[in-house]
Each structure stands twice: as structure tokens, then as C-alpha cells.
């Protein structure tokens, strides 16, 4: 029979699981399956607890797929969910003590959050409820469609079994790349249970292995720690899901392997008296060696000349032949390949970095090649993926594909409560899309609910001429009466037609649903954008359109660069003569600007050409994409689906998740989970916020004063009170948030032993003043400047503090608490405030500066009082050198020492300018400095810490 059959009608009576309720771990979603009411997901209100009690009443013995051990919990399969509960047990027996599973459940919640951020193409169940119901600990989680590997195992060929072991090892190695973030150095579960050895949760043998004697491992990292066949969900020769994460923790590879061998699988000694043949024993112990000899932790690589590789392949080296095939397929249009850097990464996957000279005669360049196969091969380093070559997207092909993705998401995922018959409240205004007989019109809602699409798009530069359409106070009533379809820009028109075919009555488009010339309406509606994109039934993203009249379907640069498809394939013979088809995916170099945008480097589409996403360059779009639960990206070559549970493109490949979005989701899950926010996860949120700020500020904004509003929806989602938000910084992490800098405002300078300044080495974006003028944000907030922001200095692992943040206050000047603030917003700190001096010595053209308006540059030196220490200093001017903030006549300048780098003791300081106050306690921030020439000197001798205010 088909090992992956999940339809009950296809299960023969002879199947070993035929008499097990619901045929063991087999699940095929059906329309009538029980599904959780979204309003009660992870809710502990009285109404929700009553709801979960009613769910338990549905869980009877006929649905019990795993009866509990003594003191444990049964496992029930109820439609689309798995329920763990002991509600069928009699607690009146004093001889039986029920195990406390609260730590185990919290461990599962936290472990799943980690796993979801790592496993890109393997599903991990969502958690719907964790807590006490009628005094008993209950966990309800998603039921992943497919077949348990233990159920499929008897029907698998030996080749399929070997393939699943290879896939399992790759998953485990990938998980084992995650290190603890809280500094722990001893083995433990993710959530540490103080009574783990006495409450019955783990077997005594496992306790001895993990916690007896020494309990530290040099390679301490994340492990599933219960990776049995029954916890792997399989489908069509692939592991598609991993479940039961309650035992996950941070362990060394070998120690986790020992738990697996001795505690999770049969042992040879168990059958010593059974007189079994070795072949029979090996079949019984087939899963015993899953851990192998150890994790492949280090990246392995070798660089070879292509000519040498070709000769070796000709001489019969199969590995060289495989790599040569990769290069020939991936670099089909490049005749002058000269070197190949062959690598096996930390996940155990092969890749190649190829050096070549393009046919256009330009200088040599490099390109990555990534091989994969549709089915398992003898080469462990070739990952398995799905590939079909998509046609360029058209309206006719897009709608059925989107409908199929939505249908699968509705059945299999927990992304949307809309899909379960409980639509959310509509935005203030939406476009009623009408039909072929009725024009669309702007509809002002009355608090009703419904399903709606949202459009994510680029407005386009103000100076470029194209068809535009916005709602203003003058045409508001006219738009409410109707808008002829041909009056819409092409992108809007495409989105409306798709919404119609998807059966959606409404679509939200910002230019039409916000009154653009009403500041009050704009502020109000921008503050609601989090709810709009969170609640949208689907977000349609015009990924490549540079403006609103370009359309969703842009295929003129589709799928090829110099005629070469993004994915090619070749045939490779193994050592026993079997031919395998290997695919090669090639990445194309991205333009320099997008290299600063971390997520933009992760291609959404397998077949995308050199044309890059227009949306990824826009700051406003970041929050739209991070908050949308389901998005369709209209790229130049194929459609791409992204939801809370999966990412894939038209060709069928699961593709990489957007790293910042995944991290943001994990932070929200950890902070709002039933277990509350642990110390570990509370440290995660500031780190994620720093990543968001860096990504956001690297993107383009047409209007600099949109900086805070365009990020306000993401800020509002974080689990902090709104009065702790300080113009882009957070009260509970203020000391770290203040150490931001403008990487384009960099000045390097040197001093000789006599204190004479040498020429400044370099600067970037030289002539522009990046400080936002007028009342907007205090100088100590990154939101006060319009340049990209960095919150982490390269190579700096820590700073020993030499200051104290006393407090801060910000007064919003609009109704949006996450928007602009009053000019009286202030920061109070205490530390060493030391005088510094800037000197305009000469004017020279900066090295590497080509196309600016300013030919002059400043040679600068900094001294401490009347002492000049020789060496090199580095400073980042907030407004850039063009801001002129460092040479305001009549002002004195100071360095407020934040602390010293832990690795080399170099002081880090805020650079301040006084505000002319008589008592000299009020300052404005103008930059951040690394004071290399103070290293080793007792710079604080004679100094005294004092309290100051920065505005």
C-alpha cells in the first residue's frame, strides 16, 4: 500500500494501526473537522475556559490515540487539533500522583517558537491553548496533516528509510545551530523545571544521563530531544512536520544522542535472551544510530581551479564530476569560469562559489550555485526540494493558484479567524470592488465586519508622471458615489479584479481609503494600520511595480538573465550506475543599495531575475509585510505565497522565511504566550527591535517626517506600555537603545605624538544634512535624523558601563502615541562629561568621494581638555559632516562617556554640544565616538560624574 495514505478509505484492515483510534498518526483534513474558535486561542478568560472545558467534553476514548502512563495525560486527535489532557482519569485514587505538566507545556511553547524561526520547510505545530481547565493541565495544539513516520515505516523501501534518516539528521543539525541567548552554560530544557528529577516527567535513566556528574557541554545548543519516528510527520518521501517538543532543550550533540540511544529506542541488551538473528536485531534497532558520530558543526570548503576540476572529473572522480555538472548547468552562459570554491555549510548542504569573467567583457565576478534534487540521492549534501518550471504570472493563472493557496491555508493552518466564519471589523473606509455591472466605490463603514484584501504598493516618485488617484476632502463624496474602473491606475485595477475573482467584496488601498489632505484623518488612520494589515484576508503585494500605474503583472524581465534560467538541471550517475537528476539554483548579485537591506537579499522567488523588489526599498512597506498574515507577492517571474505557516512560490518550492519577520513573530509569541515572558524572551524583544530599526531606516522614505508614523504599527505590537515608547526607543532598554549611530556620518582621523592632525581617512554621503528640522524628535533619538541607523558596532561584544540613565520623557504632539514628540522631550543621565575640541585645519577632497556638491572636507582632531593623546579616533556624526553641527559658533563640545568596550577597553562616548545654558547642564547630541587615543590613559582622573539633561 501507499506508505503515505492518510485517507481512512485507503487503509486496509490488515494495517497494524487499523484498530487504533483514527488509524494512529494519520490525518487528512476534511471540511467538517473540528477547528478552534480563534477568539479563544491562548485566552484564559472565564468565557474561554468554559469553551476549552467544552472542547474536553468532545475528547472521549474513541478519539484517544495514546493512552497515558500512570500519572500522565492522554493524547486525543480532535479534528484539526491534538489535545493532551487527563480529564478521563480518576484523581480520587491517592496512590496515583498526577504529574505537573505546566513546565513541560511552557517548554513546548518556547521550543516551538525557536523551531519555527529555524525550520523553513518543515512544519511545527501552532499552540492554541496551555493552562488549567477544571484543575487539570491541558495543552491544545495544531494537528499537522500527513502520516506519522512510524505508521508509514513498514511500507517503506530501504532506500526510503535511508532517505528519512538523512533528512532527520539534517533537521537535527539545523536545530543544533541555535545557541542559548541567556548565557546558560549547563544542560537544561528550554524552560528550566526546578523539580525535573522528582516530578516524574522524565525517566530516571534520562535524568542520570543529562544531570548526573558534570552537566556542561562545549557544543551546548538546541535539540528536539525526542526525535522518534512517531514524532515525524511524513508525506511523499519528505518529512513535512515535527511534533512533541516538550522535551526540547539545550544539550551537546553527543549527550542528546546518548538519551536517544538509551531512552528513546530499543537496545541490543533488551533482546539478549530472544535469540534473534543480527538482521532482525538491526531492523528493530533501525532508529538507534540517528545521532551518528556527531554534528557537522563547521563549514568545510576547498578552492580549486576549474581546469584541475575538469581533469579530475575526466579521470573518474565522481565528486568532481558532480561539481563540474553543477558549474556547467548553473553557469551555462558563462564561458570563462576560472575558479570554484566548494563548500559544505553548517546545515550539511553543498554549495559552490564560482569565479568567472562575464561574456560582456566586464571584470571578473562571483556567483553562488545551490544544488538540490526532487528525490533522495546517495549524496547527503544534496538537499531535497520540489521544482516545476512556472509560466510567467498572468491574471488567468494567478487567481486559481491564489485560491488553492488560501484553501490549503484555511484547512491546514491557524492563520485566519476570517476563514472560520468570524470576519473582523472593516477599516474606516474600504473600496467596494463592485462587479462587471457596477463600478467600484469608496464605502464608509459603520462598524460592520467582513473580509477584505489590502494592497501593498509603491506610490511612485512625486516628480514622475503617471496616472494617480487619491482621495481628498474635495473628491471624497464623489468617490463614495462611484469610480469608473478605467480611472484607477493599473495596479489598483489589477488588485480590484483579483479581489472580485477571489470573492472578496472589499479592498483597502491607502491612497484612496485615507483622506490625503486631512492631517487629522491621516494621523488617525496611520495609527490603525496594524489592525488593517493584521486583519486583511489577503495582502496583495505589487513587488516589482515602481508606481501605482505599473500593474501587478510585470513580466518583461522575467525569469532570465542573459538568457539563462534561474534553475537548470543536469544528470549525474552515482557509483553503482544509477542516474539522478540534479537541479541548480543560481543567485544573481544584488545592486549595492539592497545589500544594506538584510531581508531583501533573501530571494522570494526561485526564478527571479536580476530585477529586484521595489517594495523592499520602501520604509512604509516594512510594517505592511511584517504584520500581514497572508501575502501574495507578484514578482517579475512567478507568484509567491507567504503566510504564518509556510512560504512557497509558483514552482512548488518551499522558500526561506523573511528573517526579521520570523524573529518579530517569535518575540510576540514568547511575550504573549500562556507562560508569560521569561527573562530569556524578554531579552529577545529589544534585539528584534534593533533589527527592525536597522532594516527600516535602510529603506527609502519620500518624506523624512514619516519616519515615526511609518514604524508606529510595529511599535504598537510589542508587549510594552505605550508610555514607555520614547520616539523610537524603549524605556526598559534605554541604555542600549541610546547607543545608535549613523554609519554614513563616519569620520576617521589620526593624531601624531605632537597632537597635529593628519588627513581624515574617509566619509560617506558627505554633503547632506541628515537632521530632521522642526519639532519632531529629540536629538538623542535615532528618529531625529534621516540616515540609516546602526545599533550594533561591528566587532563590539559588550560595553562596561560608565554612566547611568536616570530617566526620559517624551510628549507626543499628535493623537498617535507612537508618532512625533515635543521639542521639550528630554533625557536625564549621569556620567563623566569631558570637554573636547574640533578643529577645521584644511579643506581637502575626501578619498573615494566622486559625485558630491561639496569638495571640502574637514581634518578633525579631538583632545581631552589640554591633553592630546596620540592615536586614531573614530566618530559618527548624527547629521553627517554636511550637517555642520560640529562647528556651531560660540558652542562648546563634550564627550559623555558611556563605557569601555569589554574586548579592548576603548571608551565609547556620546558627543554633545551645549545649549548655551548658564549652569552648563543642558546639551544636544551630535554623534557617537570611539576614542581610541584614550585607550590605556586614565581619562577619568580629576573628573567627576554629574547629572545632565539632553534634549
Tell me if 894 is assigned to some domain.
yes
Tell me if 111 is assigned to some domain.
no
DSSP string covering 125-193: PPEEEEEEETTEEEEEEE--SEEEHHHHGGG--HHHHHHHHHHHHHHHHHHTTPPPSS---S-EESS--
Please tell me whether residues 329 and 183 are part of one structural domain. no
More confident residue, 400 or 494: 494
Please tell me whether residues 533 and 404 are part of one structural domain. yes
**What is the reported pLDDT for 756?**
35
Collect all residues with Cβ–Cβ distance below 8 Å to 943 and sequence separation of at least 6.
832, 834
Whether the per-residue pLDDT at 704 is higher than 50: the answer is yes
More confident residue, 427 or 797: 427
Residue 348: phi, psi to the nearest 5? 80, 20
pTM score > 0.85 for this model?
A: no
More confident residue, 196 or 311: 311
Q: Facing residues of 573 across strands? A: 579
**What is the reported pLDDT for 916?**
74
> Among 620, 655, 690, where does a domain finish?
655
DSSP code for 664: H
Whether the per-residue pLDDT at 765 is higher than 60: the answer is no
CB atoms within 10 A of CB 721: 10
Please tell me whether residues 498 and 637 are part of one structural domain. yes
**What is the reported pLDDT for 684?**
58
Whether the per-residue pLDDT at 36 is higher than 90: the answer is yes
Please tell me whether residues 511 and 478 are part of one structural domain. yes
Tell me if 618 is assigned to some domain.
yes
Alpha helices in 632-725 (DSSP H): 659-672, 679-697, 712-717
How far, rounded to the nearest angstrom, does the alpha carbon of residue 25 sit from its chain's CA centroid?
A: 30
Please tell me whether residues 426 and 446 are part of one structural domain. yes
> Among 284, 318, 338, where does a domain finish?
284
Give the integer Cα–Cα distance in Å for 904 and 902. Answer: 6
Tell me if 545 is assigned to some domain.
yes
**What is the reported pLDDT for 883?**
64
Side-chain-side CA neighbours of 858 within 13 Å: the count stands at 21
Mean local confidence (pLDDT), 725-739: 91
pLDDT band, residue 92 (cuts 50/70/90): low
Percent of the residues in the chain that have a pLDDT greater than 70, as a whole number? 77
Give the integer Cα–Cα distance in Å for 552 and 394. Answer: 9
Tell me if 269 is assigned to some domain.
yes
Mean pLDDT, the chain, whole residue set: 79
Q: What is the pLDDT of residues 901-949, one digit of tens each?
A: 887 888 888 989 998 766 668 999 999 888 777 776 666 666 678 899 9
Please tell me whether residues 840 and 900 are part of one structural domain. yes
**What is the reported pLDDT for 941?**
64
**What is the reported pLDDT for 591?**
31
More confident residue, 174 or 537: 537
Tell me if 660 is assigned to some domain.
no
Percent of the residues in the chain that have a pLDDT greater than 90, as a whole number? 28
More confident residue, 102 or 577: 102
Please tell me whether residues 507 and 647 are part of one structural domain. yes
Tell me if 470 is assigned to some domain.
yes
Q: What is the pLDDT of residues 302-346, one digit of tens each?
A: 888 888 889 998 998 988 999 999 888 888 766 678 888 888 876
**What is the reported pLDDT for 678?**
46
**What is the reported pLDDT for 861?**
47
Mean local confidence (pLDDT), 530-547: 90
**What is the reported pLDDT for 209?**
81
60-74, 759-773, 836-850: the lowest-pLDDT one? 836-850
To the nearest 10°, the Cα dihedral for 383, 387, 393, 397?
Answer: -130
Mean local confidence (pLDDT), 813-840: 85
**What is the reported pLDDT for 141?**
96
Integer angstrom CA distances of residue 400 from 125, 394, 551, 605 = 27, 11, 19, 19
pLDDT band, residue 1 (cuts 50/70/90): confident
Domain interval for residue 460: 395-557+612-655
**What is the reported pLDDT for 60?**
92
Mean local confidence (pLDDT), 778-804: 85
Q: What is the pLDDT of residues 600-613, one digit of tens each?
A: 334 445 544 444 57
More confident residue, 856 or 260: 260
Query: In this structure, are residues 625 and 661 in contact, taking their beta carbons and an 8 Å threshold?
Result: yes
How far, rounded to the nearest angstrom, does the alpha carbon of residue 888 sit from its chain's CA centroid?
A: 43
SS3 content of the chain, % helix, strand, coil (to 5): 30, 25, 50
3-state SS of 385-408? CCCCCCCCCCHHHHHHHHHHHHHH
More confident residue, 724 or 869: 724
Please tell me whether residues 495 and 552 are part of one structural domain. yes
How far, rounded to the nearest angstrom, does the alpha carbon of residue 796 sit from its chain's CA centroid?
A: 23
**What is the reported pLDDT for 274?**
76
Tell me if 715 is assigned to some domain.
no
Whether the per-residue pLDDT at 106 is higher than 60: the answer is yes
**What is the reported pLDDT for 669?**
60
Please tell me whether residues 235 and 359 are part of one structural domain. no
Mean local confidence (pLDDT), 895-903: 86
Whether the per-residue pLDDT at 499 is higher than 90: the answer is yes
Whether the per-residue pLDDT at 364 is higher than 70: the answer is no
Collect all residues with Cβ–Cβ distance below 8 Å to 587 and sequence separation of at least 6.
367, 368, 370, 603
Please tell me whether residues 198 and 71 are part of one structural domain. no
**Long-range contacts: 524-527, Cβ < 8 Å, 24+?**
524/428, 524/815, 524/816, 525/427, 525/428, 526/709, 526/710, 526/712, 526/713, 526/816, 526/819, 527/709, 527/712, 527/713, 527/716, 527/815, 527/816, 527/818, 527/819
Q: What is the pLDDT of residues 203-256, one digit of tens each?
A: 788 888 888 767 778 788 899 999 999 999 999 888 999 999 999 999 988 888
Whether the per-residue pLDDT at 768 is higher than 70: the answer is no
Instruction: Report the domain count for the chain.
Output: 5
More confident residue, 512 or 395: 512
Please tell me whether residues 375 and 509 are part of one structural domain. no
C-alpha angle 865-871-874 in degrees, rounded to nearest 5: 85
**What is the reported pLDDT for 864?**
53
Query: In this structure, are residues 573 and 579 in contact, taking their beta carbons and an 8 Å threshold?
Result: yes
> Among 633, 655, 677, where does a domain finish?
655
Whether the per-residue pLDDT at 852 is higher than 60: the answer is no
Mean local confidence (pLDDT), 368-392: 69
Mean local confidence (pLDDT), 419-424: 61
Please tell me whether residues 532 and 415 are part of one structural domain. yes
Amino acid at each position: 500500500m501507499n506508505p503515505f495514505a492518510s485517507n481512512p478509505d485507503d487503509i486496509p484492515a490488515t494495517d497494524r494501526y487499523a484498530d487504533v483510534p483514527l488509524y494512529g498518526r494519520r490525518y487528512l483534513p476534511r471540511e467538517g473537522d473540528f477547528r478552534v474558535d480563534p477568539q479563544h486561542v491562548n485566552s484564559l478568560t472565564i468565557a474561554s475556559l468554559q469553551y476549552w472545558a467544552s472542547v474536553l467534553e468532545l475528547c472521549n476514548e474513541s478519539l484517544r490515540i495514546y493512552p497515558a502512563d500512570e500519572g500522565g495525560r492522554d493524547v486525543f486527535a480532535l479534528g484539526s487539533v491534538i489535545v493532551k489532557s487527563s480529564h478521563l482519569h480518576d484523581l480520587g485514587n491517592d496512590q496515583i500522583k498526577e504529574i505537573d505538566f505546566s513546565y513541560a507545556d511552557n517548554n513546548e511553547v518556547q521550543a516551538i517558537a525557536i523551531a519555527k524561526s529555524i525550520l523553513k520547510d518543515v512544519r511545527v505545530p501552532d499552540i492554541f491553548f496551555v493552562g488549567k481547565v477544571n484543575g487539570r493541565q491541558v495543552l491544545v495544539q495544531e494537528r499537522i496533516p500527513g502520516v506519522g513516520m512510524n505508521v508509514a515505516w513498514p511500507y517503506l523501501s530501504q532506500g526510503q528509510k535511508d532517505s528519512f534518516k538523512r533528512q532527520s539528521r539534517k533537521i537535527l543539525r539545523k536545530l543544533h545551530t541555535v545557541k542559548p541567548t541567556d548565557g546558560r552554560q549547563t544542560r537544561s530544557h528550554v524552560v528550566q523545571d526546578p523539580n525535573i528529577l522528582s516530578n516524574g516527567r522524565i525517566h530516571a535513566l534520562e535524568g542520570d544521563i543529562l544531570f548526573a556528574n558534570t552537566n556542561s557541554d562545549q557544543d551546548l545548543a538546541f535539540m528536539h530531544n525526542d526525535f522518534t519516528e512517531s514524532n515525524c510527520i511524513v508525506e511523499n518521501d519528505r518529512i513535512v512536520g515535527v511534533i512533541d517538543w516538550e522535551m526540547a532543550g539545550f544539550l551537546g550533540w553527543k549527550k542528546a544522542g546518548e538519551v536517544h540511544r538509551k531512552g528513546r529506542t530499543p537496545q541490543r541488551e533488551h533482546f539478549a535472551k530472544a535469540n534473534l538473528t543480527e538482521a532482525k536485531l538491526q531492523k528493530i534497532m533501525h532508529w538507534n544510530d540517528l545521532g551518528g558520530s556527531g554534528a557537522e558543526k563547521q563549514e568545510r570548503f576547498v578552492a580549486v581551479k576549474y581546469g584541475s576540476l575538469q581533469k579530475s572529473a575526466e579521470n573518474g572522480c565522481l565528486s568532481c564530476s558532480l561539481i563540474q555538472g553543477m558549474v556547467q548547468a548553473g553557469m551555462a552562459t558563462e564561458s570563462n569560469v576560472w575558479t570554484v570554491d566548494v563548500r559544505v555549510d553548517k546545515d550539511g548542504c553543498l554549495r559552490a562559489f564560482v569565479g568567472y569573467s562575464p561574456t560582456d567583457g566586464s571584470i571578473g565576478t562571483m556567483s553562488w550555485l545551490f544544488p538540490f534534487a526532487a528525490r533522495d540521492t546517495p549524496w547527503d549534501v544534496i538537499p531535497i526540494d520540489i521544482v516545476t518550471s512556472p509560466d510567467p504570472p498572468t491574471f488567468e493563472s494567478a487567481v486559481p493558484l491564489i485560491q488553492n493557496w488560501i484553501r490549503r491555508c484555511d484547512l491546514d493552518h491557524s492563520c485566519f479567524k476570517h476563514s472560520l466564519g468570524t470576519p473582523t471589523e472593516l477599516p474606516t473606509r474600504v473600496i467596494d470592488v463592485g462587479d462587471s455591472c457596477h463600478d467600484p466605490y469608496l464605502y464608509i463603514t459603520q462598524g460592520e465586519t467582513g473580509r477584505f484584501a489590502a494592497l501593498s504598493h509603491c506610490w511612485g516618485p512625486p516628480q514622475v508622471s503617471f496616472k494617480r488617484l487619491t482621495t481628498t476632502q474635495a473628491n471624497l463624496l464623489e468617490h463614495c458615489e462611484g469610480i469608473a474602473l478605467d480611472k484607477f491606475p493599473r495596479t489598483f485595477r489589477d488588485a480590484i479584479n483579483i479581489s472580485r475573482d477571489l470573492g472578496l467584496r472589499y479592498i483597502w488601498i491607502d491612497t484612496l481609503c485615507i483622506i490625503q489632505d486631512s492631517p487629522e484623518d491621516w494621523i488617525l488612520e496611520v495609527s490603525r494600520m496594524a489592525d488593517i494589515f493584521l486583519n486583511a484576508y489577503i495582502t496583495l503585494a505589487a513587488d516589482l511595480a515602481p508606481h501605482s500605474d505599473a500593474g501587478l503583472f510585470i513580466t518583461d524581465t522575467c525569469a532570465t538573465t542573459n538568457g539563462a534560467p534561474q534553475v537548470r538541471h543536469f544528470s549525474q550517475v552515482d557509483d553503482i550506475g544509477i542516474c539522478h537528476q540534479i537541479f541548480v539554483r543560481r543567485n544573481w548579485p544584488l545592486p549595492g543599495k539592497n545589500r544594506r537591506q538584510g531581508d531583501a537579499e533573501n530571494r522570494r522567488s526561485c526564478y527571479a531575475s536580476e530585477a529586484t523588489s521595489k517594495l523592499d526599498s520602501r520604509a512604509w512597506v516594512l510594517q505592511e509585510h511584517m504584520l500581514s498574515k497572508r501575502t501574495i507577492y507578484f514578482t517579475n517571474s512567478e507568484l509567491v505565497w507567504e503566510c504564518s505557516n509556510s512560504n512557497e512560490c509558483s514552482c512548488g518550492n518551499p522558500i526561506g522565511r523573511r528573517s526579521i519577520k520570523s524573529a518579530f513573530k517569535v518575540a510576540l509569541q514568547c511575550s504573549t504566550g500562556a507562560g508569560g515572558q521569561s527573562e530569556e524572551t524578554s531579552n529577545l524583544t529589544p534585539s528584534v527591535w534593533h533589527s527592525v530599526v536597522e532594516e527600516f531606516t535602510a529603506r527609502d522614505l519620500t518624506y523624512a517626517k514619516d519616519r515615526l508614523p511609518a514604524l508606529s504599527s510595529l511599535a504598537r505590537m510589542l508587549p510594552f506600555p505605550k508610555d514607555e515608547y520614547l520616539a523610537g526607543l524603549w524605556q526598559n532598554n534605554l541604555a542600549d537603545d541610546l547607543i545608535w549611530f549613523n554609519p554614513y556620518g563616519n569620520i576617521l582621523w589620526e593624531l601624531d605624538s605632537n597632537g597635529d592632525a593628519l588627513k581624515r581617512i574617509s566619509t560617506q554621503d558627505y554633503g547632506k544634512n541628515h537632521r530632521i528640522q522642526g519639532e519632531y524628535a529629540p536629538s538623542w533619538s535615532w528618529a531625529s535624523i534621516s540616515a540609516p541607523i546602526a545599533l550594533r558596532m561591528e566587532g563590539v561584544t559588550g560595553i562596561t558601563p560608565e554612566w547611568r540613565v536616570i530617566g526620559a520623557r517624551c510628549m507626543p504632539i499628535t493623537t498617535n502615541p507612537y508618532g512625533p514628540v515635543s521639542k521639550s522631550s528630554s533625557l536625564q543621565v549621569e556620567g563623566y562629561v569631558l570637554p573636547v575640541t574640533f578643529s577645521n585645519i584644511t579643506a581637502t577632497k575626501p578619498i573615494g568621494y566622486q559625485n558630491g556638491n561639496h569638495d571640502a572636507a574637514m581634518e578633525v582632531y579631538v583632545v581631552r581638555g589640554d591633553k592630546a593623546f596620540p592615536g586614531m579616533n573614530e566618530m559618527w556624526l548624527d547629521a553627517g559632516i554636511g550637517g555642520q553641527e560640529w562647528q556651531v559658533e560660540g558652542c562648546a563640545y563634550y564627550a559623555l562617556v558611556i563605557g569601555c568596550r569589554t574586548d579592548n577597553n576603548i571608551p565609547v562616548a556620546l558627543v554633545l554640544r551645549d545649549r548655551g545654558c548658564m549652569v552648563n547642564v543642558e546639551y544636544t547630541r551630535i554623534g557617537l565616538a570611539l576614542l581610541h587615543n584614550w585607550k590605556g590613559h586614565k581619562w577619568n582622573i580629576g573628573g567627576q560624574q554629574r547629572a545632565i539633561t539632553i534634549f
